[in-house]
Every structure is written in C-alpha cells, then in structure tokens.
C-alpha cells in the first residue's frame, strides 16, 4: 500500500529561493505529505535551515562547500552539487526515507534536478517545476521517461499569485503521485514480457501476441517507440524487470543514427542483452527516420518518400546504404548480449506503410536490409527468416514458437496460470 503520508524530497537552492521553497513545503504538508528539504545552493544560507544542508550535499560529492564556492565557476559548482544531491537522494530512497521527488529551479536547478530524477528508479514519482519546462534546451535523452514537468510561470524571482499556483499544483502532483502508486506484487504475480511497437497502425503484431501470452500465464507490457517509450523499455530491461523481451520495433535506433529528435538515446537494443534477459528481436520500422511533422524534412533525407502520421510526427524513408548500416548496427548490438537472442527477419516487410502501394514502399530498400542482416548476425544469435510481413499472422506464430521453445528449455520462467 502507498504511504498515507508520503515523504517528498524537495530539492532547491534555499539561498536564492527561500520563500518559494518554504511555500512549496507548506503546500506539500497541506496536501497530506511530509516535506524533506535538500538545499543545493552555494551562495549563502538562505531564510531557513534545510533538513539536508548544502554542506552535506557537498560532502556527498566528495568535497566541501567552501571548495565548491572557491572554484568560482557556477557550472562546476552546480555539477558537483548535482553529484552530491543524486547520491543522497538514492541513499534516502534506498533506506525508505523518501517516497517521491519534487525539484524546482531555472536552468541551473533543472540541470541538477534531471540528474537526480534520472538516477531514481522508474516508478518513483518525480516532479520538476522549471522555468524551462518543455523547452528545446532540455534534450530528450535527459528526460526521465516517468517525469512530471510543470512550467514555473512567473516564478523566477519572488512569490506572486501565478507562481503560487504553479508551486501548489506541483506539490499536489508529487503527493498525489505517491498516494496513487501501485506497489510491486499488489496486483498480478505473472512474469512480465516487455514488447516494443510503433503504435498499432504501423505495427500490430501485439494484437495477436497479447492474448496468446496471457493464455500462457504472462503479462504483456507494450512500449511505444517514440523516444521516451524506448527509454523506459531499456531502463526496465537493463534492470532485469522482464522475464523476456520481444523487441520488434527498432525505429528509435534508426532515429538516433539519423540524428532525429525522436530518440531514446545511444543505448537502444542494449539493455536486455547486457542484463542477460532472453530477447527475441525483429527489425520492425527500421526503414524510416521520424521528424517533427511541423518542421521541414531533415535536409539529409530530402527527396525521399515521406509519410505524415499526424500533425506531430512524420517519417521519411531511408535509402539502401543506410539500411545496410542499420543492419550492421543491429548485428553488432546483438553480439553484445549475455543471454539468449533470436533475430526474426520478416522478409515480406517490416511495417505497414512499406507494403506495395503504401507511401513508404521500397522493394529495393527492403531487399538490402534482408540481404545485409544475415551477414552480421553472430553464431550466438539465432536467425530465423520468415517469408511474411511483420504484421502477418505468420510472424506472430514464429515469435511464439521461439518463446515456447525457450520456456521448455528453461531459458524463460514459466507463466503463472
């Protein structure tokens, strides 16, 4: 059960934002939570004494507050305080002394808060109140996949009715998120299979696989591979939270290689392998790079076939040379795996828009991928060619055949009926 009086770790610079943090603490307590204030400021003492003083934060970074102040460089100072804050937040959470995170700041405070939020486990409530919320200054790979971010409108200096509203709502969000948490094991005890997909239009194998896996005693969690979904998937896979993964949408890997903003970072297709989690992989949607539909197509891909999925996201087809490059990268990453790996190669197509007559159909491009992939799959990875489209029933049946065989061999934990 959730803590009836959740303990919220409030992180901010007490030296410059005493009034705001005091109001935030009051708001947390007014919502039924208990506030723990960590001071990460380096300019002075502020208007009150924090529960975790800045001297303790500096010590956790292996230095002293005075040494940080003497450095004379604000970037170095805040980087060190971020290290200390992260170490202490992990310690407090690990010891069961805090239930959620609430941080506030401008660019400096947000920079620090993102480090702390990324370090805390997925599922721990994280709220950041920032003057640069949703800004292009915040790179996608620094945003935790479960972050709640709120714009701190009118809150740069001093209290006013606008920023009080933002502060109070952020406090409510942090306390409410803690109260609403579903504890591990409180509902289902079935092993979880992690799966990736690009929505349910471009890829839709999960419609057949979900009932089939549930009938076998598993729970299926499907992640939308539009950047943050892949980050969450990789985080959980790396921590061994899945009994197995069916990683069938690798489009974020292609996005990263193509310089797209729709990325889940440099470690896509590595989490499960490094953790030794059994992985069944397919090159779903690796024929295209995403870009923001409200912006021009990236110059590198001008002239290629494109498809606007909606007013937010569009995709452009990559050429044969890049498809071969993608094939090499997939093979290289699978070679790093410490557990069972199988690559399913649907030779009939890898997403719905590449079928004959569809906007991204490119027979030569698909042929290049199908030709190149087998060249780079090492002996430790099973390779199974399927003469069907990834959205055909034959693909789902092939995936289940591998899964069932691994269960029989004891490589995947049996489901719970």
Mean pLDDT of 1-19: 88
Beta bridge pairs of residue 245: 194, 279
Q: What is the DSSP letter of 144?
A: -
Do domains 7-179 and 192-290+318-408 share one topology? The answer is yes
pLDDT at residue number 185? 53
Q: Where are the domains of the chain?
A: 7-179, 192-290+318-408
pTM attached to this predicted model: 0.83
The burial class, CB within 10 Å (0-12 / 13-18 / 19+), for 89 is buried
Among 126, 104, 168, 403, smallest CA distance to 281 is for: 403
Question: Do residues 289 and 335 lie in contact, with contact meaning Cβ atoms separated by under 8 Å?
Answer: no
Give the dihedral of Cα atoms 259, 262, 264, 266; nearest 10 deg. Answer: 0
Question: Do residues 140 and 227 lie in contact, with contact meaning Cβ atoms separated by under 8 Å?
Answer: yes
Residue 160, SS3? coil
Q: pLDDT by residue (tens digit) across 210-265?
A: 999 999 999 999 999 998 899 889 989 998 999 999 999 999 999 999 999 888 88
- At residue 153 the predicted structure's pLDDT band, cuts being 50, 70 and 90, is confident
Beta bridge pairs of residue 105: 130
Mean pLDDT of 73-77: 89
Beta bridge pairs of residue 314: 291, 308
Residue 11 has pLDDT above 80, yes or no: yes
pLDDT top residue among 154 and 24: 24
Mean pLDDT of 175-192: 77
Q: What is the DSSP letter of 123?
A: T
Residue 186 has pLDDT above 50, yes or no: no
Among 40, 35, 37, 36, smallest CA distance to 59 is for: 40
Top-level CATH class of 7-179?
alpha beta
Taking the domain 192-290+318-408, which CATH number applies? 3.40.50.12030
Q: Percentages helix, strand, coil for the chain, rounded to the nearest 5?
A: 40, 20, 40
List all residues 6 or more positions away from 8 whose beta carbon is below 8 Å from its beta carbon.
28, 33, 34, 35, 36, 98, 99, 100, 101, 102, 171, 174, 175, 178
> Residue 306 is inside which H or E element, if any?
strand 306-308
Residue 46 has pLDDT above 90, yes or no: no
Q: What is the DSSP letter of 241?
A: -
pLDDT at residue number 134? 83
- Mean pLDDT for all residues in the chain: 93
Residue 19, SS3? helix
């Amino acid at each position: 059960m959730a803590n009836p009086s959740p303990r919220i770790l409030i992180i901010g610079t007490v030296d410059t934002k005493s009034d705001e943090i005091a109001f935030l603490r009051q708001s947390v307590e007014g919502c039924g939570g208990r506030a723990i204030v960590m001071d990460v400021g380096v300019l002075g003492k502020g208007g009150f004494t924090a529960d975790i003083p800045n001297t303790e934060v500096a010590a956790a970074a292996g230095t002293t507050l005075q040494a940080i102040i003497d450095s004379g460089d604000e970037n170095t100072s805040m980087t060190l305080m971020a290290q200390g804050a992260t170490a202490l937040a992990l310690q407090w959470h690990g010891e069961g002394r805090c239930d959620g995170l609430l941080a506030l700041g401008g660019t400096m405070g947000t920079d620090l808060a993102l480090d702390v939020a990324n370090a805390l486990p997925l599922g721990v409530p994280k709220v950041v109140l920032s003057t640069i919320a949703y800004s292009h200054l915040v790179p996608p790979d620094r945003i935790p996949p479960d972050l709640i971010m709120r714009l701190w409108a009118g809150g740069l200096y001093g209290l006013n009715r606008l920023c009080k509203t933002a502060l109070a709502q952020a406090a409510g969000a942090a306390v409410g998120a803690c109260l609403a948490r579903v504890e591990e094991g409180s509902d289902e005890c079935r092993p979880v299979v992690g799966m990736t997909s690009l929505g349910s239009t471009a890829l839709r194998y999960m419609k057949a696989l979900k009932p089939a896996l549930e009938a076998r005693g598993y729970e299926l969690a499907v992640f939308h591979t539009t950047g943050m979904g892949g980050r969450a998937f990789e985080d959980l896979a790396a921590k061994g939270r899945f009994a197995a993964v069916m990683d069938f949408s690798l489009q974020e890997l292609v996005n990263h290689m193509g310089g797209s903003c729709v990325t889940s970072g440099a470690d896509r297709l590595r989490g499960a392998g490094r953790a030794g989690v059994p992985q069944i992989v397919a090159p779903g949607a690796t024929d295209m790079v995403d870009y923001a539909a409200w912006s021009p197509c990236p110059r590198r891909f001008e002239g290629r076939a494109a498809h606007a999925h909606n007013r937010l996201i569009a995709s452009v087809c990559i050429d044969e040379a890049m498809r071969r490059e993608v094939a090499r990268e997939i093979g290289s990453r699978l070679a790093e795996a410490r557990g069972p790996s199988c690559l399913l190669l649907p030779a009939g197509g890898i997403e719905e828009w590449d079928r004959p007559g569809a906007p991204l159909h490119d027979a030569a491009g698909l042929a290049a991928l199908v030709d190149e992939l087998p060249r780079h799959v090492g002996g430790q990875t099973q390779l199974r060619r399927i003469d069907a489209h990834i959205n055909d029933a034959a693909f789902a049946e092939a995936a289940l055949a591998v899964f069932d065989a691994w269960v029989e061999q004891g490589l995947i934990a049996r489901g719970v009926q």
